[in-house]
Structure 1
């Protein structure tokens, strides 16, 4: 565990509604650390955008929380809103098809599953909220990657280290690029045993009010059970549910 990171982030908790600005001396006193240590940590937080330094004069230098925290707070708020809107419709979809339903978003170079509705089936997949997945594995992560701007997508692919989880896992950039082309062309993603052998997953994009893809709605299950459903009701109902969630987020097809 990195103690310097813990100490630096702990300094952010010293700010409040009553004390929006603090001097170096005040922060050192409140934290119980020496001024040189506090100054070093504050400088790192300032460089990262978590703090802003206000210098009225050489004797009056204060710190306040930076706009980077606002950006991060907005991302959290958007994710919470997305979950609140999506969950009732995910529950209905799960009840209709009796397969596990996931909601995934992009977090830097990974996909993160932020919501899940479990099936009543005796045989089910082990997944959990908070699971992080590489963007080349599974229908949801691949879909999120596919709808990124081209330059951003190519940069992520260039930095990928491919690792085989099963014999069906994509293991090179050229195959992934072809898969992305197909996903964008057909408007959804499918995976066959890429994360776990004998499973199938299908994902559709969820759009926000700016008509940008903000999440992937995923349905997955054992191949023996879902294969026949996939070409029928599962595929269509997943598409319809993703569209309804998008519309509730302000998406317009026009």
Structure 2
């Protein structure tokens, strides 16, 4: 990491419950760096919202932590809240259907798996908590991509070529866009063998209190078990669980 970035981040650690406001002189002394260097680093942090200056005179300045840290902290808090609320429902669903259950979110330009409940079957999928995947591969990621605003979709799909995980043949963007429209209209995503061979995935959206899609609930297993009547049962139970999680997060459909 760039040394200037490292030094700037260490300055943030100087602010504590007992020291929520520090002068330039105090920061320079505690960080053991010259005042001009401290001022330059503090100015960069201030310009980006990580600090704000509460007082300035000809002799010194005072700084406090900025609202950008609150914003970032809220993002982390929301994701932890989502995991904690969703996990009991995911565990109940996994016990009921005995298939692998995932919780997937958008993380910048990719999809990230933030929770997973295994089945009791011998098959083990290669997904893990923290794994990232392109948003155009797999039912969980594609569900999220389908509900992103058109401009975000265009940005994510702007690469000259999109490739599957296990094939060099590029993905047809026009067909993908049609599939995303279908996912949005039908309210669920379906994929076969896109992340693991001989496996099928189905996913449903999870909404928050603002009626925004913030995650997808994905169920995966051997394709031979995702057929006929059993597929309809899996879809119904996954949908019901996604609705329960959404209601727990404050989601209400129009008219409720």
TM over 0.5: yes
Structure 1 stretches lacking a partner, 5+ long: none
| 1:174-253 correspondence to structure 2 within 5 Å | 174-228=174-228, 231-253=231-253
Aligned 8 A contact 1:100 1:219 in 2: yes
Matched, 1:132 2:132: yes
Structure 2 stretches lacking a partner, 5+ long: none
| 1:9-48 correspondence to structure 2 within 5 Å | 9-48=9-48
Aligned 8 A contact 1:168 1:193 in 2: no
Counterpart-to-counterpart distance in 1, 2:72 and 2:176: 30
Root-mean-square deviation over aligned CA pairs: 2.2
1:50 corresponds to: 50
How many residue pairs align between the two structures? 254
Relative to the length of structure 2, the TM-score reads 0.90
Moved over 6 A (4+): none
1:234-254: CA deviations, max 9, x gaps?
111101100011011111122
1:102 corresponds to: 102
Counterpart-to-counterpart distance in 1, 2:27 and 2:173: 49
Relative to 1, partners in 2 of residues 1:160 and 1:253: Cα closer, same or farther, differing over 3 Å? farther
CA positional deviation for 1:227? 4.0
Relative to the length of structure 1, the TM-score reads 0.91
Relative to 1, partners in 2 of residues 1:107 and 1:228: Cα closer, same or farther, differing over 3 Å? same
CA positional deviation for 1:168? 9.5
Counterpart-to-counterpart distance in 2, 1:173 and 1:188: 20
Counterpart-to-counterpart distance in 1, 2:215 and 2:170: 21
Counterpart-to-counterpart distance in 1, 2:145 and 2:38: 40
Aligned 8 A contact 1:11 1:27 in 2: yes
1:114-153: CA deviations, max 9, x gaps?
1111111111202211111211111111111111222233
Aligned 8 A contact 1:168 1:192 in 2: no
The worse-fitting range, judged by mean Cα deviation, of 51-60 and 116-125 is: 51-60
Counterpart-to-counterpart distance in 1, 2:64 and 2:89: 41
1:22-55: CA deviations, max 9, x gaps?
2222222212233343333323322322122234
1:56-95: CA deviations, max 9, x gaps?
3233322211111111111111112211211111001000
CA positional deviation for 1:163? 3.0
